[in-house]
């Protein structure tokens, strides 16, 4: 009788142990790559070792990371904007620099909110201006209201949800266990598997794109062209510039003027092929109004403004872009170089000889150094 009990007990519990083992391995993977780590501990480890990339896929804490590091480094020059300023790098500058790209994602009231969260005042802000934020068809649904101050804190993500997403992506073949040691010095699924993530200076490193451009979703701008054809995902159609955005931009510039912060505005570039497609479609009337109006507002506050919307006007070709609307670090080095040639205030903060040497000796039009060296 007792033997029958044990036999039934074992038969009953075996599936439970098997299921626990299956689920447990995803928990182990999550801890191993750092997706379940305390964000502050990861930030501290990168400060101690600048070779580490932070490339989270399921627990991305970009706003918090950028705020903590901006307050820690207290750089004289800061790049502020979305992911489209993340290719400005500390190597371009002769003074302290930090890239806060990704600390914001919406309209310019959010940019003020980020500055209000800082515990110091930078001397210069390189302000990245995105095309779509000037289009009401995008920002009317994509932007959060920051009229009231919001404290930037860690976004609490339930660990069970993280593990569920890790498991789902594994079942879809998006990662394999053998790939978790591809780049063992990094944190996060993107860092470990693809060598993608934030560098210590806040800029972003696209290791997988540098090595395997043909494997990217937007190879030859396939994804970006689809967005344009469907008028979606930041490429919504629009006839005229959004007046509210202009007002919010004016509020941001006035805020910086009152804080004695010099602002250098950069209308971030699109790949020439993407700009040409938008131009030919005739559905983006608002994009031609951005530069003249921005120039007027920046002049009002005695700030510099540069229009690089069409990357081709800077002499760049499509192969200087990691995708349809993110220029490479090489492209952004040429932006800095061009601004210096136009007598930008940044001349006081840039080592132009070093910048020229970086460009002259670059590995490719996407990155300065061989990613496999």
Question: How do residues 275-321 score in pLDDT, each as one tens digit?
Answer: 999 999 999 999 999 999 999 999 999 999 999 999 999 999 999 99
Q: Residue 373's pLDDT is what?
A: 75
| Weakest-pLDDT range from 2-6, 231-235, 307-311, 335-339 | 2-6
User: What is the spatial distance between Cα 90 and Cα 347, in angstroms, rounded to a whole number?
Assistant: 14
Q: Residue 300's pLDDT is what?
A: 97
Token pair, residue 20, equals: 């626990």
Name the pLDDT band for 2 (thresholds 50, 70, 90). very low
Query: Whose CA is closest to 329, among 347, 316, 342?
Result: 316
pLDDT digits (tens, 9 = 90+) for 77-101: 999 999 999 999 999 999 999 999 9
Angle value at C-alpha 29, between 28 and 34, nearest 5 degrees: 100
Given a contact cutoff of 8 angstroms between Cβ atoms, the answer to whether 189 and 35 are in contact is yes
In this predicted structure, the answer to whether residue 11 has a pLDDT above a threshold of 50 is no
Instruction: Please list the alpha-helical segments (H only) found in the chain.
Output: 2-33, 39-48, 62-73, 108-117, 136-142, 159-171, 189, 207-211, 222-230, 243-258, 272-281, 287-300, 329-341, 352-360
Name the pLDDT band for 241 (thresholds 50, 70, 90). very high
């Amino acid at each position: 009788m007792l033997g029958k009990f044990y036999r039934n007990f074992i038969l009953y519990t075996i599936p439970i142990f098997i299921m626990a083992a299956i689920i447990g391995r995803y928990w182990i993977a999550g801890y191993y790559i750092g997706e379940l780590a305390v964000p502050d501990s990861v930030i501290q480890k990168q400060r101690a070792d600048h070779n580490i990339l932070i490339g989270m896929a399921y627990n991305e804490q970009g706003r918090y990371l950028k705020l903590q590091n901006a307050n820690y480094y207290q750089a004289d020059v800061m790049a502020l904007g979305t992911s489209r300023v993340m290719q400005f790098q500390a190597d371009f500058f002769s003074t302290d620099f930090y890239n806060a790209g990704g600390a914001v994602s919406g309209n310019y009231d959010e940019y003020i909110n980020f500055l209000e969260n800082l515990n110091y005042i930078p001397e210069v802000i390189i302000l990245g201006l995105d095309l779509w934020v000037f289009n009401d068809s995008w920002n009317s649904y994509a932007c959060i209201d920051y009229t009231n101050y919001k404290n930037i804190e860690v976004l609490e993500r339930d660990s069970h949800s993280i593990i569920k997403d890790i498991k789902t992506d594994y079942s879809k073949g998006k990662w394999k266990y053998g790939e978790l040691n591809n780049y063992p010095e990094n944190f996060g699924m993107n860092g470990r598997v693809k060598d993608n993530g934030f560098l210590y200076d806040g800029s972003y490193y696209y290791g997988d794109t540098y090595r395997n451009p043909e494997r990217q979703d937007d190879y030859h701008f396939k994804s970006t062209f689809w967005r344009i054809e469907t008028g979606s995902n930041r490429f919504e159609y629009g006839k005229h510039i959004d007046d509210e955005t202009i007002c919010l931009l004016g509020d941001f510039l006035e805020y910086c003027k009152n804080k004695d912060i010099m602002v250098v505005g950069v209308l971030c570039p699109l790949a020439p092929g993407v700009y040409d497609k938008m131009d030919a479609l005739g559905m983006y009337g608002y994009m031609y109004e951005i530069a003249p109006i921005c120039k007027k507002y920046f002049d009002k506050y005695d700030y510099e403004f540069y229009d690089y919307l069409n990357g081709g006007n800077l002499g760049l070709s499509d192969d200087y872009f990691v995708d349809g609307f993110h220029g490479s670090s090489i492209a952004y080095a040429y932006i800095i170089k061009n601004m210096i040639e136009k007598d930008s205030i940044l001349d006081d903060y840039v080592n132009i000889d070093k910048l020229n040497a970086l460009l002259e000796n670059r590995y490719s039009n996407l990155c300065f150094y061989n990613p496999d060296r």
